[in-house]
Copies of this chain bind each other. A is one copy, B any other.
């Protein structure tokens, strides 16, 4: 495995999992007032396009990393909407 592939995999892993801490904070604190739903929507559209790009390129790493990110994004998206409606503040 050459350096470029290693850097690409590491970059995919970090960006794909970057939303996870926000999701965990959301579940822990049940507060979402300051989170931008627009950000989550734009990011979701981008991630779906990255999956299409991975399919066109037949690149499993891009597909898997971004499919995982879409799952985390969708969960964060719906929990954000829920806690914006049902939060104490």
Chain A residues within CB distance 8 Å of chain B: 3-4, 7-8, 10-22, 24-26, 29, 31-36, 38-39, 42-43, 45-47, 49-50, 52-53, 56-57, 89
28 A-B contact pairs sorted by A residue (CB < 8 Å): A4-B53, A4-B57, A7-B49, A7-B53, A8-B53, A11-B49, A12-B46, A14-B42, A14-B43, A14-B46, A14-B49, A15-B43, A15-B46, A15-B50, A16-B46, A17-B42, A18-B39, A19-B39, A20-B39, A21-B36, A22-B35, A22-B39, A24-B36, A26-B34, A31-B34, A32-B34, A34-B35, A89-B89
- For A20, the chain B residues whose CB sits under 8 A away are 39, 42
